Chains A and B, each alone.
Chain A
């Protein structure tokens, strides 16, 4: 067989083409089979999402019974210990009694004069004096706790929720000093003995970490409303503050609402409809 220069160049050209086409052919073949693709991490399709989550509490319809149920529902959903619960003697023998001032709170009742101290007035309408005001983490737009945290255990999620990564919390409590709302509690002891019934859907905490409301991030991710909203008989609405069409925006548009310690400039996302 005689090899001319011409046939050599032809063969070389075809080979180069074949080598060049290989990645494209492989890509087409792979997209056909699909099984061996890279792992992916995504939201669940049923997850609720928002640009900035906020909460509106309708104080006009709030009463002691509803507030009590809300606090209870929150404790249950998030395994927040209840210091009035008597620990099981067999399981946890010889525990020292809990200290009231070391209580753990995600959402709790306050009087007007504790919730809105700067708005105290000599001639405050009587009805406000007896009303229960539910207070919790305000998921501030400019959250001072986020800035104070040295490990970024407390951080602001893109959707406005001020979250805690318990895995990173070193228990330094700078965030507690930074929060003007006292919304954070420290675990001075193992909380488990004081949880009446452990909810298997959410982890507990250990001695030495700080905790606070996380707007039931785990429930939102499953397409469920936060536990407080569910128990609130319509007195708490959680929704997207940046969406003009949302229920919470409609409520705020039509009613007079205040926020706690607005003058500090932290921009709380919890509104109280008066």
Chain B
């Protein structure tokens, strides 16, 4: 008797439940193109392997800052045999010393995944200083 009402209700329910899926159909979800700076291209190596960097750079930075500020150890020798002065943005072998264009590298990826590290409230980017 109320078969039609039930079916209509089901249709509405299924449509609502699947909203996230059909809403995103057709949208462009391609990962952003990140650009390596000239300096990084020339160096060809990062602190860890590329995929480890992608997955672990936040905890690497966390380790670095504890080491520098709390243990006074500032020199990092990586598994790739390279040494780095552990720093987010001071000096040529810091993250931003090599990845010189923060907007085209860090920010592009972060914007895509909606993370906004608060580090830049204090740490200065090289462009900010020269501007």
Contact = CB atoms under 8 A, between A and B. Distances in A.
Contact of B90 (A39, A159, A200): A200
B80 A198 contact: no
The 10 closest A-B CB pairs, nearest first, are A206-B121, A41-B73, A203-B122, A200-B129, A203-B123, A40-B77, A41-B67, A165-B69, A35-B81, A44-B75
A166 to B, nearest CB: 7
23 contacts: A36-B79, A38-B79, A39-B77, A39-B79, A40-B76, A41-B73, A41-B77, A43-B73, A43-B74, A44-B74, A47-B72, A166-B69, A167-B69, A190-B121, A200-B126, A200-B129, A201-B91, A203-B88, A203-B89, A204-B122, A205-B122, A206-B121, A206-B122
Contacts of B128: 198
B33 interface: no
A198 B71 CA distance: 26
A221 B76 contact: no
How many chain B residues sit at the interface, stated as a range, is 20 to 34
A165 B80 contact: no
A53 to B, nearest CB: 11
B122 A157 contact: no
Given A159-B72, A205-B122, A35 B80 contact: yes
Contacts of B71: 41
A42 interface: yes
Interface of A: 34-44, 47, 155, 157, 159, 163, 165-167, 190, 198, 200-206, 217, 221
Interface of B: 65, 67, 69-81, 85-86, 88-91, 118, 121-124, 126, 128-129
A95 to B, nearest CB: 17
Nearest to B71: A41
Contacts, number: 71
Contacts of A203: 88-90, 122-124
A221 B72 CA distance: 7
Contacts of B90: 200-203
A136 B123 CA distance: 24
Contact of B72 (A36, A40, A43, A166): A43
Contact of A217 (B72, B89, B91): B72
A36 B69 CA distance: 27
A39 to B, nearest CB: 5
Contacts of A204: 122-124
A204 B123 CA distance: 6
Given A35-B81, A165-B69, A42 B75 contact: yes
B74 A221 contact: yes
Contacts of B70: 155, 157, 163, 165
Nearest to B74: A221
Contacts of A40: 76-77
A166 B80 CA distance: 31
Contacts of A206: 118, 121-122
A203 B79 CA distance: 28
B19 to A, nearest CB: 39
Contact of A39 (B72, B76, B91): B76
A237 B108 CA distance: 47
Contacts of B72: 43, 47, 157, 159, 217, 221
Given A155-B70, A165-B69, A167-B69, A41 B124 contact: no
B74 to A, nearest CB: 5
A34 B129 CA distance: 39
Contacts of A34: 81
B124 A200 contact: yes
